Amino acid sequence: MNFTTYDIELISTVLALLAGVGSICLHRMILKTTFLTLKESISNVVIFLVWRFVFFSTGAAFQLAIFSFLHQFSLIHIETGPLNFAICLIVMDCAYYWKHRWEHQFGFLWAQHAVHHSSKEFNFTTSLRLPWVGSYINWIAFAFVTLIGFDPLHIVLSYKLILAYQYLVHTELVPKLRILEKVLNTPSNHRVHHGRNKQYIDKNFGGILIVWDILFGTYEPEGEKVEFGTTVPIESTNPFVINFRPWVEYFRSIRIKLFSPGKI
């Protein structure tokens, strides 16, 4: 039986949704979380479906077109193959680390990334809570990988693999994994990243590997219980409010800075 790209994408989407439902059930049975609401979980799923079939589909094509255009200006063209793809994946993982770090440092980028951090829950459905406009912005951080000479398709596939791996680390059910905590972005490491505890803010930006955080000084191991969510919470389960309120707040802050007394 031959699978098309569409079949693979559809199957992966269905599996993600099924795993999300399973995660909710496990959280209810094992952790007995009182704040876990069906309404918020449904909102995460709706956000994911809109992202997956509208924004990500068009965004991936948009990114591939830009990478293909930039690729013609690269000094060398690295041949395709398993080894070069593995190298591309490692380079992309480092690029992802910096993209992710910049999203926490610059207001414009945080406006689209805050969507993912705004949930007070942490399970597989949290990983489905993705910014709708991110697919049109993220390519900027990966443009240099194309100019190095890596194949544009390898770059897009690497990014998809990094995103797929991210899905697996959104859970409270997996404890620390000993030595792997200093190599991989584990569920424990990623719980820290989603924490709004003072010592956890702006830590553990890694995609697949956590070694980038260790190298660049942003690593923090999980200690005290993590409080999930943003420091300024979004008290809504409306997918549109979740995705666009951070943008409203960002442009409001820009307006205040431009037109506050002393600026005129």
Domain for residue 177, yes or no?
yes
Q: Which residue has the higher pLDDT, 121 or 9?
A: 121
20 inside domain: yes
End-to-end CA distance of the chain: 68
Mean per-residue pLDDT, 164-189: 93
* Residue among 113, 128, 126 at smallest CA distance from 37: 126
Assigned domain for 96 exists? yes
Tell me which residue of 183, 255, 193 sits closest to 227, measured CA to CA. 193
Does residue 64 form part of some domain?
yes
The DSSP output letter for 231 is S
Residue 264 covered by a domain = no
Q: What is the mean pLDDT of residues 17-41?
A: 62
Contacts for 15-19 with beta carbons within 8 Å, 24 or more apart? Answer: 16/48, 16/124, 16/128, 16/167, 17/45, 17/48, 17/128, 19/124, 19/167
Q: What is the pTM assigned to this prediction?
A: 0.86
Q: 140 or 94: whose pLDDT is higher? A: 94
Give me the pLDDT at residue 13, please: 61
Torsion of Cα atoms, 53 then 186 then 161 then 244, to 10°? 30
Number of domains, the chain: 1
Residue 80: is its pLDDT beyond 60?
A: yes
Q: For residues 231 and 204, what is the distance between their CA atoms, to the nearest angstrom? A: 17
Q: Is residue 16 part of a domain?
A: yes
User: Does a structural domain hold residue 62?
Assistant: yes
Does 131 map to a domain?
A: yes
Give residue 89's pLDDT band: very low, low, confident or very high (50, 70, 90): very high
Residues 212-244 have pLDDT tens digits of 999 999 999 999 999 999 988 888 889 999 999
With 50 as the cut, is the pLDDT of residue 11 above it?
Answer: yes
Write phi, then psi, for 184 (nearest 5 degrees).
-110, 160
% residues pLDDT > 90 (the chain): 47
pLDDT at 147: 92
Q: Which residue has the tokens 């989603």?
A: 194
Mean residue pLDDT of the chain comes to 85
pLDDT tens, residue by residue, 110-153: 999 999 999 888 888 888 898 888 878 888 899 999 999 999 99
- Averaged pLDDT, 174-190: 95
The parent domain of residue 195 ranges over 5-259
